[in-house]
Amino acid sequence: MILTCSIKKFALTFAALFIVATSIAQVTSGRIVFERRTNLKKRMGDNPRMKDMINDKNKIRKENFELLFNESGSVFKYIEPDVVEEGFLKYMTQRNTVYQNLKGNEKMIIMDLWGSPAHLKDSIEPRAWKITDNQRTFDGYLCRKAVWEMNDSTRIYAWFSPDLVPATGPEGFNGLPGTILGLASEDGSIVYFAKTVEVMEVKDTELDYSKIKDDVYNKEELKELLAEKMGRWLKPGDLDAMFAWF
């Protein structure tokens, strides 16, 4: 937001008209690798079927995601591990791909629904973030903690670094004065933290999602569709949880 000529303002003379290249640590594009830890015991621990299958050894599930960002937007997607994972635990978490178009104020989410993807396109809604004094470092970048009250019972914490300029982050989160390097639900059942931040050029073509044309819904439509088709198997709480962050 450039200073506009507003009326009756004291003119401030600025001697220095040269652009100061102080942005040593000001990053405008790059690649961040996030590690997501899901505590399966907290997410499903009171489900009688799952309770016995989750023990202390396997209750934390780690998955890697990457966020490619530049000033026009970002894309967030799952990094498949080299070795195929065995077992059923991988079906307990969702791995969505999220495109954020900051300039067009739009987001495109490819939801992974047990093998068949569903496309959700919607506008980026502003969220009411609260800023706290808590600070901590992620891969050398000092971040400040912000809180979003998702609903009466849950809060989401996000750590953003002002040194990373684009207002984006993992899983469709945005709107903070810096890129989000850490994300956590209040009970700690899902946590994302940035393991590495690599400063590099990201072309706009990598963030392009215009080729996705079929099966595109907006949030309300997709939620209704799923409730209709899957309502027998999903508890309403689980269905809401899938969409809660969007």
Partner 1 sequence: MKMFKFFLIASALFLVSEATAQEMKVTGTVYDTTGTIPLRNALAMAIRVKDSLLLDFTRTDAQGRFEISGFEVDTFSLIISHPNSDEKTYYMFGAADNFDINIPRVVMPPKSQEIAEVVIYAYKDPIYYKGDTLVYVADSFAVDENAVVEDLLKKLPGITVDKDGKITSQGEDISKVLVDGDEFFGSDPTIATKNLGANGIETVQVYEKENDEGIGGDDEKIKVLDLKLKEDAKKGYFGRVSGASDFALTPIGGEIGTNPFYEGEALFNVFNGSQKISFFVLGSNTPRSSFGWGDLNKFGLENESGTGNRWNPGSGNNTSGIPTTLKGGFYYSDKLGEKKQTKVGFNYSFYRDELDARSASRSQFLLPDTSYITDDSTRDYSLNISHRINLNIETQLDSLTSIQIKPNISFNSAQNSSRDISDFFNTSGAQTIGTNVRDTTGSEGIELGGFARVTRKFMKPKRELEVRYDISLSDNKNNGFLDSYTTYIASPFPNDTISQRKYNDNKTLSHYGTFTYVEPLGAKWRAQVEYLLEYGTSFQDKVALDFNSGAQDYIDTNASLTNVFDNIRQQHRVGLMFIYEPKKHRFAGEVRVRNIAIQNINRVTDSEINQNFTNFLPTFEYRFRPSMSKQFRVNYRTSSQQPSINDLQPIPDNTNPNRIKLGNPNLRPNYVHSFNTMFNSWKALSGRYVWAGANVILTQDAFGDSTNYDSFGRAVSQTVNVKGNTIASVYSGAGLPILGRKIEFAPGINGSYYRATNFIGAVENITENFSVTPNLKITFRFINDSLEMYTENSYAYNNTLSSFNNSTTPYYTLNNEVGFKWRMKGGFTIGSDGAFTKNFVPGDGFFDTQFFVLNAEVSKKFLKTQNLEVAIIGNDILNQNINARREVIGTTITDYRTTIISRYFLLKVTLRFNNRRAKEDDFDMFH
Q: Does 193 engage in binding with partner 1 (CB under 8 A)?
A: yes
Q: Does 232 engage in binding with partner 1 (CB under 8 A)?
A: yes
Q: Does 5 engage in binding with partner 1 (CB under 8 A)?
A: no
Does residue 142 sit in helix, strand or coil?
A: strand
Q: Does 241 engage in binding with partner 1 (CB under 8 A)?
A: no
Does residue 53 sit in helix, strand or coil?
A: coil
Helix residue ranges, H only, 13-140: 40-44, 48-51
Q: What span, in angstroms and rounded, lies between the C-alpha atoms of 54 and 125?
A: 36
Task: Kindly write out the interface string for residues 26-65 of this chain, putting x where it contacts partner 1 by CB under 8 A and - elsewhere.
Answer: x----------x-x-xxx-xx-x-----------x-----
Rounded to a whole number of angstroms, the minimum distance from the CB of residue 116 to partner 1 is 5
* Interface with partner 1 (CB under 8 A), residue from 33, 50, 89, 113: 113
Q: Exposure pattern of 92-119 as b/e (b: 16+ CB <10 Å)?
A: eeeebbbbbbbeeeebbbbbeeeeeebb
Site for partner 1 in 125-164 (CB under 8 A): 128-133, 135-138, 142, 146-147, 153, 159, 162-163
Question: What angle separates helix 219-230 from helix 236-243, to the nearest 10 degrees?
Answer: 150
Q: Does 103 engage in binding with partner 1 (CB under 8 A)?
A: no
Number of residues that bind partner 1 (CB under 8 A): 77
